[in-house]
Every structure is written in C-alpha cells, then in structure tokens.
Amino acid sequence: MSLLVVGSVAFDSIHTPTAERERVLGGSAVYFSYAASFFTPVRLVGVVGEDWPQEATQMLKSRNIDTSGLQVKPGGKTFFWKGRYMPNMNDRETLEVDLNVFGEFDPVLPQPFIDTPFVFLANAAPTVQMKVLSQTKNPKIVFADTMDLWIRTQHAPLLELFSKIDGLVLNDSEAKLLTEEENLITAGRAIQRLGPKYVVVKKGEHGAIFFEPDGISVLPAFPTSRVVDPTGAGDSFAGGMMGYLAAAGNTDPLTLRRALAYGTLVASYNVEDFSLDRMKEIDRSHLDQRFQQYQAMLQL
C-alpha cells in the first residue's frame, strides 16, 4: 500500500568533529521518503524555493517517490539548517536556521494523494499537521513526529493532534519534556493516555521503545562504529518503519516489531555517511542481510 509523507525539504550544512558538508540534501520528508522507498511507493508533500535543483526532484522520482505534491515557490528559498555535532555524535547545536519558504508552508494534498492508506506527518507545527490530516480521507493508519519547540509553544494544538492520530514518534528527551516524567516507560504510557495508541520513543544510539496497547517492546540500535553524520537518523528510522508497514499492509504485533527493526536498520545505514549518500549505495538486499544479523543477535 502507498504511503504519504508531509514534512520539510531542506538544505543542511553539517559540521562534525572530523568533517563537514555544505548545503547537502536534507529535511525530514526527504530522509523519510528515501528510507521508505526501499519498501513501498511514497507520496511526498513539501515546499522548496527556486534554488532547489531539478536533479534532486529527479533523484526522488527515480526512487518511486511521487513528487507531485512538492510545491516550488518562485523567488523563494529552500529551508536551510546548519548544525554542529559534539564529539559524542549524539548532541548537536544549531548554528543557523532559515525557515524560508517552509515558514509559510501551506500543505495541499494533490487529489490522488487524499485516500493514501498510510500517512506520516513529519515534524512541523501541529496546526500544519492538522491541516494535512483534514485533507485525508479514511487513512488506515496515521503516525506523526513532533519536537521540543511545539511541546513548549503549541501545547494545545499538539494535544488536539494527539487525539486524532494512531501513533506518535518522538525522542526520549521530548517524551520526558511532554510528560514531565523521568522514567521513559512511565512517560510512554502517559503519552498513550493522551491519544496515540502507538508510541515510539527514539533513543538514538540506544535504540527505541515501542508502546502498543497490550505491551512494550524495546529494540537496541544496530551496533555500528561508523557514525559519520547522525542527521536524519530519526526520519530515516520512521521512513523505514512506515515503509515496511505500508508494504506489509497490516499492523500485526510481529509486523510492527519487524517494521521497527527495519527502521532501526535503515537508520544504521543512514548515519554511515552524510545526507542520503550511504542510503544511495545500498538496496533492499543490504537491509535484509543486516536484518538477519540483527535477528540472530536478538535470538535467545
């Protein structure tokens, strides 16, 4: 089944302790769709300025990503983010953010996108996420991402969003901020009480915790020593997870756990190079091979 993602499309400038890259492709919807495209066709909705290269759109199209929902604003500039990672490669500081055309993003779903069964609302203001949701027709399952900024400044719209989605994906620090709970298990359950049946708490190098109505699973990250650039890890995780789910077309407990595992594995490749570079080098067979290693490692 197909999968809709609405989110940011961006240029990133990234400084790590050992290397840097200027104005590489990024944004939550870009990482998400590329990751999901290993599994299923993707429909992307976003906005860019006239500085966005046509080749980038072509590259996405070549991955079976439908870009007919990608608005190009004449005279506008694409969202730009510049950040620097600390030596632990987990913490980072934002050096520059220019929202540009993403600041007035008014998502419009092309008619053929409206009845997409699997929907992911990537990180954006909850009011923007709600606008997307109001244009969809009977989605089978809707997941959303959020961030500390909206938790702090848009609490009421966020709670309204939570009452309308099936699943929420967020970081450990965001889960603690949202619930004022230090224990992540308690925090995840508290978030479920706010609406989402499913909650995924991402812990970066420590994996993810998955809250279902009937239980909790914890999956570790895939052990890798090659962490070149963590940018987009969370979005490629979500893309892999939703892509796998959409391809499977169901939400059985085992399918859900495998979806989380594939999300974990796509993210483990993504961090091995800047931007989409590492993901561009692999295909589904690499993911399946790493899945077998991962499965074996967790077999008890």
Looking at 1, 59, 72, 89, which residue binds a copy of itself (CB under 8 A)? Answer: 89
Looking at 182, 213, 214, 252, which residue binds a copy of itself (CB under 8 A)? Answer: 182
CB-wise, 197 or 257, nearer to a copy of itself? 257
- d(Cα 249, Cα 255) in Å, to the nearest integer? 9
The count of chain residues that interact with a copy of itself, using the rule CB under 8 A, is 37
Shortest distance, position 262 Cβ to a copy of itself, whole Å: 10
Closest residue by Cα to residue 74 from 48, 54, 103, 50 = 50
Concatenate the DSSP letters of all residues of 133-165 into one string.
HHH--S-SEEEEE--HHHHHH-HHHHHHHHTT-
CB-wise, 20 or 91, nearer to a copy of itself? 91
Shortest distance, position 205 Cβ to a copy of itself, whole Å: 8
Phi, psi of 23, deg, nearest 5: 50, 55
Confirm if 169 and 200 have CB atoms less than 8 A apart: yes
Footprint on residues 259-298 left by a copy of itself (CB under 8 A)? 261, 291, 294-295, 297-298
Distance, C-alpha 194 to centroid of its chain: 21
Looking at 69, 207, 240, 243, which residue binds a copy of itself (CB under 8 A)? Answer: 207
Phi, psi of 13, deg, nearest 5: -110, 125
Looking at 21, 82, 131, 203, which residue binds a copy of itself (CB under 8 A)? Answer: 203
DSSP SS3 for 222: coil
Three-point CA angle 37, 42, 47, nearest 5°: 115
Looking at 130, 219, 228, 233, which residue binds a copy of itself (CB under 8 A)? Answer: 219
Shortest distance, position 214 Cβ to a copy of itself, whole Å: 12
CB-wise, 92 or 258, nearer to a copy of itself? 258
Q: Residue 46 pairs with which residues in a beta bridge? A: 70
Binding site for a copy of itself (CB under 8 A): 87-89, 182-186, 189, 203, 205-207, 209, 215-225, 227, 254, 257-258, 261, 291, 294-295, 297-300
